[in-house]
Amino acid sequence: MKDLNPDRRKGDTSEQGSTRSAADPTKRMAGSSSKGSNTKEKQAAGQGKIPYKYYDNVADLKKLDRWRRVKRSVTLAIIYIVASVISGYFFGVPGLLLAWIIITSGLVPKVVVPTPDAYFVIEDAVVYGSRKVLRLDKDLKVKVDKERNLISIKSKWMTLLFLYTHEPETLAKILSKLATLDKGTS
């Protein structure tokens, strides 16, 4: 594992994993608020001492693939609305309630999947946004789409997180140790 070090260059692979350096990833990702964090953690984050296996800032890749994500979300929303209207037409209010329960339960894909601009992969989780953490275990599946530079982290029924990456093979290798690599990778 590596310490957060803004001076580390992309090609430095002297330790486990690979990194992409940004101006200072700890400033944005570690957060500066004192809510829910103790002083030692804040000091470690401020000094660049949070160990991580992979860091990537992917705003450029996310922007290039935006319309594909929008098309997916709009298509799913239309399907869910049509299914709700049809079930409401045939079964009335109980049909609408059943459609709403199924759509919100997680049995069908989410309309919007979180897609961070920057993230860390730490010992057993992906940290993204200001304080969001997705714990990884062997029940989750990792699917790699090399054409889009995209890695999808899925549970049994739905996609939990889209991670764009400049190095899909490296990130897939790291995540495969923490979750199950999907056999249908491209």
Which pLDDT tens digit goes with each residue over 25-40? 444 444 433 333 333 4
pLDDT at 164 over 90: yes
Give the pLDDT of residue 5.
Answer: 44
pLDDT at 129 over 70: yes
Query: What mean pLDDT value characterizes the chain?
Result: 78
Query: pLDDT: is 48 or 182 the higher one?
Result: 182
Helices and strands of the chain, counted as H and E runs: 6, 11
* pLDDT (tens digit per residue) in 167-179: 999 999 999 888 8
Contacts of 145 (CB under 8 A, 6+ apart): 151, 152, 168, 185, 186
Give the pLDDT of residue 138.
Answer: 87
pLDDT at 51 over 50: yes
Give the pLDDT of residue 106.
Answer: 81
What distances in angstroms separate CA 12 from CA 5, 50, 56, 135, one per listed residue?
11, 18, 14, 27
Give the pLDDT of residue 118.
Answer: 93
Give the pLDDT of residue 178.
Answer: 86
Residue 122's CB: how many other CB atoms inside 10 A? 18
Check: CB of residue 45 under 8 Å from CB of residue 26: yes
Closest Cα partner for 102 from 75, 79, 135, 118?
79
pLDDT at 87 over 60: yes
Residues in the chain: 186
Closest Cα partner for 145 from 163, 120, 119?
163
Check: CB of residue 87 under 8 Å from CB of residue 96: yes
d(CA 93, CA 88) in angstroms, rounded, equals 6
Q: Place 22 in a pLDDT band, splitting at 50, 70 and 90.
A: very low
The arrangement of strands across the sheet holding 18-19 comes to: 18-19, 54-57, 118-121, 125-128, 132-135
